[in-house]
A and B are shown apart, each in its own frame.
Chain A
Amino acid sequence: MNLIISSIPTILMIVSPILITAIGGMICERSGVVNIALEGLMGIGACACASTHYLMEAGGSGRYSLVVALLIGMVISALFSLIHAVAAINFNADQTISGTGINLLADGVTIFASQILFHADRTKEFRIGMTTDALGLYPTAYIALAVVLIAWFVLYKTPFGLHLRACGEHPAAAESVGINVRRIRYVGVITSGVLSGLAGGCIVLTQTIQYTSNTINGRGFIAIAAVAFGRWTPLGVTGAAFLFGTAQALSVIATNFPALKSIPSEVFNIIPYAITLITLIIFSGKDYAPRASGQPFTEARS
């Protein structure tokens, strides 16, 4: 029992960024745009955050640098998500293609930037990342909680949230009552960019001390799985992120548990993907996805 309680901080540390990204992906899909670029956007946010934090720490302004670094990560990731927004919303592009493009681009841009800034294929190590509080938790856990609550409130308790969901279900109907579908979808895509950048920053500042090409390592894709498994609702996505994050955490900390010691860590790594696939098969008849998700929207014209 003690063992389980003592691993809660680790689990929350790993769950938080996945949850933040998944909420972003969920909002994006609810507005009607599929975003498989979450992985790349996280990388861009993480790289920008790690670089900023290192430079500010070295420059002696370590006090505000964590917050500034996170903000910079969010802004730069949001800028890259604009590419996806323009492609998907203005140019009616295939959203899977532009998402894949951003993922490929992110691999190059982050390491290229590191080469230019630090003359290495990774950012320089910063000294101190985020620190834990009295409960042993990182601030990222509270950030994730806040993100979920705000997302739930905005989606279900405000007119804007209703409009956003309408754009994902039936954009033509939304347009007919005067909702600007394109603008709302822009908000959806940029929100996913901001949250992915935030999550990338959270990973770098809590789980490692620098950005490398291996920092994100598929967590963006786990977030996509969490969105589908959580059936596009804040509560469901939160549950899915917890399940998948715990599986990820177990691949690291299973050696602490006598019962799990003999299981190879790869088994835990497979769990999120296998579960998602199996549930998609079991619930295949019912479609929970936003109906217009992934389809380009053109205003009705004569």
Chain B
Amino acid sequence: MSSNEKTLKPRRSFIDWFLNSNGATSVAVVLLGFLVAIILVALVGKKPGNLLRSLLISMVGQKNNRGVWNFRYVGETLAYSVPFVLTGLTMAFACRVGLFNIGGEGQYVVGMTVAQAFALLVKPFPGMWIACLLLATLCGALWGGLVGVLKAKYQVSEVVATIMLNYVALYGSRLISLNLPGANTYKTGPLPSQALLQKFLIPTSNLNIAFFIMIFACVVYWFIMEKTRLGFGFRATGLNKEAARCSGINVVKNIGLAMAISGAFSGLAGACVLLGGAFTSGRVLSAQDGYGFMGIAVALVGNNTAVGTFIAGILFGILKEAQSIMQTMDIPKEITYIIQGLIVVFIALRSGLELIKQQRAKARVRKEASK
């Protein structure tokens, strides 16, 4: 199909370039989301300028009264982007293998719960945070891998299975966390300092070494997916399961393994939020944090690539940090959720572009034929 197009019309117009570029349509989708939000803000009688200003502040910081730049907001933005990127990688990884992992939320909760249980129950030792992160990653992988096994062996739809496991994780986490030392209805006792993540660069913010861990995770994602035989098998499975099976790729094993790796990113995200957050005690969750669901949006905007997911995660970090600034400027912070929701809806509608593409190709063939 694509080679046909090229031979029929070597010079491609802007519209063709746009329709065929995932990056360009992603940018357009994001801009469209912001545009609708700006219109909505104006319609309800608030100042759209304030919305944009709060976004700008969370991107570059703000000059204070004495003319000194305050970068705290930037630090917070980068800190917030860590779980977004990691849960985004979860969704992206599964997508590349042809699976839809909306269980990032549950894997995130499992990672967080295991990390805080370990930190509170084991006698503190230097470098404890490393053990916490590794354990959370491992358990996230197990929780995700379980879905893979159910899908591969029992043909249970991964969408239904992950929805169910999200809630099993949430209530299971409450059961465990409520029995941890010093637990009350919303938090556990204080976490040992050895388990907390070191801050850097902007000490007034929550920016911590989890940021580097996140970048490392992006590199791992890129390496596994693009540079290893395993990744080749994953991508082949995602593109055409039957063809992959026929060429000797173990599809069942791949699905289980892919869901496990996918879940590992979210498990890590849970530990990073817990140990690098503003509060230094464990949490008894009363509802889902929503990072797992946001990760779906992040991966969709980032077109399931490592770099794209990273950029999209930073964008979502900006939105999250802008929330608190908006509140002081008389803009309801929920507008950011609307923007994120709109972006996902528009991405779903992006498949409409495929129809336009097909129509254009048909029209072109007709034109060629009538010559």
Contacts and interface: CB of A to CB of B under 8 A. Distances in A.
What is the interface of chain A mostly: helix, strand, loop, or mixed?
helix
A112 B161 contact: no
Interface residues of A, number: 49
A112 B340 CA distance: 13
B348 A97 contact: yes
Given A93-B348, A266-B175, A284-B155, A104 B297 contact: yes
A149 interface: no
A103 B154 CA distance: 28
A50 interface: no
Contacts of A136: none
B16 interface: no
Given A97-B348, A109-B341, A104 B293 contact: yes
Given A105-B342, A108-B341, A273-B168, A87 B163 contact: no
A94 B346 CA distance: 11
Contacts of B342: 101, 105
B200 interface: no
Contacts of A65: none
Contacts of B338: 105, 108-109, 112
Nearest to A279: B156
A96 B332 contact: no
A107 B341 contact: yes
Contact of B163 (A92, A221, A264): A221
B349 interface: yes
Contact of B102 (A93, A100, A225, A266): A100
A92 B355 contact: yes
B329 interface: no
Contacts of B159: 34, 36, 96
Contact of B161 (A217, A266, A277): A277
A274 B348 contact: no
B242 interface: no
A162 interface: no
B178 interface: yes
B237 to A, nearest CB: 18
A112 B163 contact: no
Interface in B265-297: 286-287, 290, 293-294, 296-297
17 contacts: A87-B349, A92-B354, A93-B352, A97-B347, A100-B102, A104-B341, A107-B334, A108-B337, A111-B337, A112-B40, A224-B163, A264-B178, A266-B178, A273-B164, A273-B167, A277-B156, A284-B156
> Lowest 6 A-B CB distances belong to which pairs?
A105-B341, A108-B337, A101-B344, A98-B348, A108-B338, A115-B332
Interface of A: 34, 36, 83, 86-87, 90-94, 96-98, 100-109, 111-112, 115-116, 121, 214, 217-218, 221, 224-225, 228, 264, 266-267, 269-270, 273-274, 276-277, 280-281, 284-285, 287
Given A91-B351, A280-B160, 13 more contacts: A87-B349, A91-B355, A93-B349, A93-B351, A106-B341, A109-B341, A221-B166, A224-B160, A264-B175, A267-B175, A269-B167, A277-B156, A277-B168
